[in-house]
Amino acid sequence: MTLFLLDGLIVVGLVTLAYQAVSSRSLFRGIIHFVVFGLTMALAWARVGAPDLAMAEAAIGAGLTGALMLVAYRRLVEGRSDSPADPAPAQSRLALPIAIGSGLLVGVIGLSALFSEVEPAQAGQAVLSELQQVDLGNPITAVLLLYRGLDTLLEVAVLLTAFLAARAVAGADGGEGSATTPAPETPMVGALLAVVIPLTVLVAIHLLRAGSYEPGGAFQGGAVLAGAGVLLILSGRIAATPVAGPLIRMGLLAGLVSFMLIGLVPLLKGSPLLALPGLWAVYFIETAMMLSIAITLILLFAGGGGLKRGRNG
Amino acid sequence: MTASALALIVFLPLLAACATVAFPGRWVGLIVRTGLLPLPLLMLVPTAAVLDQNVVHLALAGHASPLGIEWRLDSLSLLMLWLNVGITVLISLHAGFTFRPDSDRGRRFWPLWLILFASMNALVLSADLFNLYVTLELVTLAAIGLIAVESKPAALRAGMRYLLLALMASLLYLLGVGLIYGQAGTLDLYLIAEQIEPGWLPVTALTLMIVGLLIKSAVFPLHAWLPAAHGNAPGPVSAILSAMVVKVSIYMIWRLWFWGAAGWDLTTAANLMGLLGAAAIVYGSLAALVQDRLKMIVAYSTVAQLGYLMLLFPLASALAFQAASYHLLSHGLAKAAMFLAAANILNSVGTDRLQRLAGVDQRLPLDVFALALGGVSILGLPPSGGFVAKWLFLEAAWQQQAWGWLILVAGGGLLAAAYLFRVLGVICLHPRKRLDKRPRRENPDLASVAALILAVGAIAAGFFSAPVLDLVSAGLPPGMTP
């Protein structure tokens, strides 16, 4: 009964928050509603038994996306001195058609869930039966790296492309002078960072390690690690530069390049492409991907091509 | 051997992209060449394999579907691969001047360019619905970055609009994939045909996917983003956008329609798709007729020419399939040539407003010639590749006594003639009028030569159609017989 109530609360909350996020008169309120929507969505994922998704949603969907939106909002407000303190989003003529279209889509999904006979998916069954042969307890990690490695590889490439595209859009003038003006330094900030940053890094490494036998993995770990980076930027410990140094560039590319190179090696021995040579390769690639994901997200937040020691650093 | 070659065809440009990010110094030019130039040679291996065994299956990581992802190379994929490799390498010749690898602009351009190239190669190889989604996302994101790479306000606005629509399209496609997976339990495009019977749920799923892909391919009436994006992007980017990027999503619709839903009775939907194509041809041509910027004319011409690719659905015969495949090829070459020539003209004159272009033929004879040759293929005059495609379309319509489509194909050629002759008329027919201003910037010869090679390719496609058409008819969709 309690669980039923909880589910009902989540569903009602999701719809209300989604409506508030898009219909809010104030852009700022809209962003905050979006973040809360992400967190509630994470709860929903947890309730349907998808803890991996819940973690990714909370860390990326709510946390980092929210941070990115807030930083964009700040630039929007600061960039235009004549604009009101809180610009209201323009009303779009497309709002109603899109709302109706989305409603219909939700209806389709709902109907399909109600009426389709749920058969165990072939692919899912195959994964579970194959899983005994490898020493990975988490089927999701096995799918991501062993069975559908190309998807994951290309996803990491998508992230890199997003960063490169953002750099292309920012153009020649992007980079220097991140819009995150740090708050005046108080002793509390330093003390807090000294506790929070190591803890966050620890959590990220735990998530990465846990990924092989329980929910977790490179994406979740990377997102949490990026959270630490966001904190460092906000407190002025690190700041954006237009061009990346060699270390940042290596970190940015580590995941994709190591995945590709390790994936190509089996071809030399006549094995199929992307047939990873052992569990060490899984761990290695996951670690490299976590670093790359974290650095890409931090750079996107910083709005720069590279990082340097900040003014409070 | 084939596996290694295909792996390199996808991963070599991707590795090169990473290398250009890692070493953004004076090595970029060399890295780009290493990532692009071996590709035509590498392509020989899969070509031999397809000629030998017709279809090449490759289970990635050794896990066959439904467990893993498969690559499947058949005639149509091979044609798309060749088209992508050929056009990208030729446009890169041109882009080497617009975006010098050692310049700041070049450093922003080349990684995205290589990623776009690699992801389209990965897309046409993939036989997996979700993997197709990921590759399509990669294509779109890289394309948007490239549109905005010069940071011009108009291009940024067009890129933003493209981004929003493309994301919505991706979501629609992904929703369809989810629904299909829920019923078939597999993501393999070619297994789905056996797993799924037509019912309202599979039909909904397929509709969602196709609508998403139609947005990405800018088929009328979902074309609104295309002219602005293609018309304001830098020259080489416009060329690849029109020649390849919109085609890969049409390629995906063909795959879903003729392979994934093989054996379904889709007559009504097919006619609807054909009508969309007809509307695209008429609307795109008329809109091209009233534009006053050269690049916008070429962009609207793309909207119109994409309509022909939609005629495959109602005609649905082996002849029509050959026609559509050949149209894809010759339009790709011709449109890439026209956009490159337009970019050279724009660069030299400083504007591409039509009334300012009178007399350009005297200053830039090669570029105007390339533009005209591309135009010849677009409007389907013999002996161009466009002529072969239109002729096959006419023949296919004739065979089925589909007079409506027949009139449309013939009339579409006339409309194309109208807007292309308007351009050539303004440029070439002028009473000894010379451009009074000196060229704003000189184009390097190689930039014009790249456009010319592509244009000559579009014409030459008319002479060497037999082997390509044989190849296409060796890989017809199930249910089509030559």
3-state secondary structure B245-305: HHHHHHHHHHHHHHHHCCCCCCHHHHHHHHHHHHHHHHHHHHHHHHCCEHHHHHHHHHHHH
Name the amino acid, one letter, at B118. A
Q: What is the pLDDT of residue A120?
A: 66
Cis amide bond preceding B198, omega within 30 = no
Q: How far apart are CA A167 and CA B108, in angstroms?
A: 7
Q: How far apart are CA B419 and CA A198, in angstroms?
A: 66
Closest CB from B62, B63, B201 relative to A271 = B62
Q: How close, in Å, is residue A277 to chain B by CA atoms?
A: 10
Q: Do A109 and B179 touch (CB under 8 A)?
A: yes
The four Cα atoms B208, B214, B220, B221 give a dihedral, to 10 degrees, of: 40
Cis amide bond preceding A139, omega within 30 = no
Closest CB from A123, A124, A149 relative to B61 = A149
Q: How far apart are CA B354 and CA B293, in angstroms?
A: 6
Q: What is the pLDDT of residue A61?
A: 83
Q: What is the pLDDT of residue A100?
A: 87
pLDDT by 10s per residue, chain A, length 313: 788 899 999 999 999 998 888 888 888 999 999 999 999 999 999 998 888 889 889 988 888 899 889 888 888 777 665 555 566 666 677 778 888 888 888 887 788 777 766 666 777 788 888 877 777 778 888 888 888 999 999 999 999 999 999 988 886 555 545 545 555 667 888 888 899 999 999 999 999 988 888 888 888 899 999 999 998 988 888 888 888 888 999 999 999 999 999 999 999 888 888 888 888 898 999 999 999 999 999 998 888 888 888 777 6
Cα-Cα-Cα-Cα dihedral sign, residues A307, A290, B62, B129: negative
Q: How far apart are CA B78 and CA B472, in angstroms?
A: 9
CB-based contact A285:B61 (threshold 8 Å): no
Distance of CA B65 to the CA centre of its chain: 29
Q: Do B201 and A112 touch (CB under 8 A)?
A: yes
Q: For testing the chain A interface, which of B45, B72, B73, B108 should be mutated: the one with the most A CBs within 10 Å?
A: B108
Kindly give the pairing relationship between strand A238-241 and strand A306-309: antiparallel
Determine the 3-state secondary structure of B446 from DSSP: helix
Q: Do A122 and B185 touch (CB under 8 A)?
A: yes
Q: What is the pLDDT of residue B251?
A: 96
CB-based contact A292:A156 (threshold 8 Å): yes
Q: How distant, in Å, are the alpha carbons of A264, B13, B92, B422 from that of B88?
A: 24, 11, 6, 29
Of B410, B398, B399, nearest to B281 by C-alpha is B410
| CB proximity under 8 Å: B 174-193 to A | 175, 179, 181-187
Q: How far apart are CA A207 and CA A289, in angstroms?
A: 13
Give the model confidence (pLDDT) of B43-82 as tens digits. Answer: 999 999 999 998 999 999 888 878 889 999 999 999 999 9
Domain boundaries, chain B: 266-482
DSSP state of B60: G
Domain boundaries, chain A: 9-78, 130-313
ipTM of the complex as predicted: 0.93
Closest CB from B18, B58, B144 relative to A253 = B18
Tokens representing A35?
A: 């973040």
Residue with tokens 């929210």: A66
Q: What is the pLDDT of residue A154?
A: 95
Total CB pairs under 8 A between chain A and B: 166
What residues of chain B lie within 8 A of the CB of A263, using their CB? 11
Contacts of residue A53, defined as CB under 8 A and 6 or more positions apart, other chains included, come to: A45
Please give the residue of chain A at the shortest CA–CA distance from B18.
A253
CB-based contact B309:B80 (threshold 8 Å): no
Q: How far apart are CA B277 and CA B285, in angstroms?
A: 12
Q: What is the pLDDT of residue B10?
A: 95
Of B254, B247, B259, nearest to B334 by C-alpha is B247
H-only helix segments in B291-384: 294-310, 312-315, 318-349, 360-363, 365-378
Q: How close, in Å, is residue B28 to chain A by CA atoms?
A: 15
Q: What is the pLDDT of residue B369?
A: 94
Q: For testing the chain B interface, which of A151, A264, A271 should be mutated: the one with the most B CBs within 10 Å?
A: A151
CB-based contact A69:A31 (threshold 8 Å): yes
pTM of the model: 0.94
Give the model confidence (pLDDT) of B454-467 as tens digits. Answer: 999 999 999 989 99
Q: Do B185 and A124 touch (CB under 8 A)?
A: yes
The 3-class secondary structure across chain A, one letter per residue, is CHHHHHHHHHHHHHHHHHHHHHHCCCHHHHHHHHHHHHHHHHHHHHHCCCHHHHHHHHHHHHHHHHHHHHHHHHHHHHHCCCCCCCCCCCCCCCHHHHHHHHHHHHHHHHHHHHHCCCCCCHHHHHHHHHHCCCCCCCHHHHHHHHHCHHHHHHHHHHHHHHHHHHHHHHCCCCCCCCCCCCCCCCHHHHHHHHHHHHHHHHHHHHHHHHCCCCCCCHHHHHHHHHHHHHHHHHCCCEEEECCCCHHHHHHHHHHHHHHHHHHHHHHHCCCCCCCCCCHHHHHHHHHHHHHHHHHHHHHHHHCCCEEEECCCC
CB-based contact B162:B225 (threshold 8 Å): yes
Kindly give the pairing relationship between strand B56-59 and strand A306-309: unpaired
Name the amino acid, one letter, at B135. T
CB-based contact A153:A133 (threshold 8 Å): no
Stretches where chain B sits below pLDDT 50 are none
Closest CB from B7, B65, B109 relative to A273 = B7
Q: What is the pLDDT of residue A287?
A: 94
